[in-house]
Amino acid sequence: MKQRTLTGLVLALVSFLLLCCFRLPFVPELATICLGCSAAWEILGACGVKSKLLRMVCYAWAVLLPLLPLGENRYVMSALLVLGLCYFTYLMGRIGKPQKGWMPFVNVFFTVGLYRSLAAFGRLPQGAMRLCLTGVICALTDIFAYLVGSRFGKHKLSPKVSPGKSVEGALGGLLVTLVLVTLVFSPYYGNAWAVALYAGVCSILSQWGDLSMSAVKRVAGVKDFGKIFPGHGGILDRCDSLMYPLAFTWLLHCFLG
């Protein structure tokens, strides 16, 4: 726990520095490329992919997508969000069955595609603030889901996908996050109901992102995506909850302003 806490503090500091520099030219794109390449590397490694051609295609997707204007088309991102949710939900039902040959590529395709929305935050009004709010919601959900679940958890949320998660923990993380975010951020945004609704949707999506990446690991037969962060696992083990909320937040701005 001590090592996990220390690593968490270091990650929080790095995240704060990134937010401070987020308005600088090319920083959002570089951050997105790094995140996308890391996601591709960890997924391909977890799935045991040896093909150099497939690896090159996946890395090219991770590098080029943040630089292509097509990636900022709201209808393209909407399709990626909906289809990604459907695909990873399907993957949760395949745990215990053999991994199909096309799955590693599709895993990378949707994961990198959804993380691509991070680059678009650099061009949003108050993009760093929006990114911070999204990250805070995901972090609070994760923390309080763990705290409530470890103390009161009795009913498994999804035993095959993530045996350690409980219904009580999921609801606790959702409710505590919703209350805290509404109390802190509603004076800034001026609409408590809108903030509460946004926080609730992002909290649910963050937990679904966690389950989605857990499904990738279970189907591949690995416990963690990596060991780069002591006590936390790999990059995807820490950033999985951001996958859907980032895309949802950007789309919300595109459609509603």
pLDDT at 223: 83
- Check the CA dihedral 34-224-88-163 and report its sign: negative
pLDDT at 255: 86
pLDDT at 184: 92
In the three-class reduction of DSSP (H, G, I as helix; E, B as strand; rest coil), residue 233 is classed as strand
Cα separations in angstroms, 137 against 95, 173, 245: 28, 10, 9
pLDDT at 123: 80
Q: What is d(CA 202, CA 208) in angstroms, rounded to the nearest whole number?
A: 10
pLDDT at 229: 62
Q: What is d(CA 101, CA 244) in angstroms, rounded to the nearest whole number?
A: 25
pLDDT at 1: 54
Q: Tens digit of pLDDT for each residue in 23-76?
A: 777 888 999 999 999 999 999 999 999 999 999 999 999 999 998 887 788 899
Strand spans (E) along 107-238: 156-158, 162-166
Q: What is d(CA 211, CA 206) in angstroms, rounded to the nearest whole number?
A: 9
pLDDT at 227: 73
Spell out, as residue ranges, where the chain has pLDDT lower than 70. Answer: 1-8, 10-12, 229-233, 257
pLDDT at 96: 86
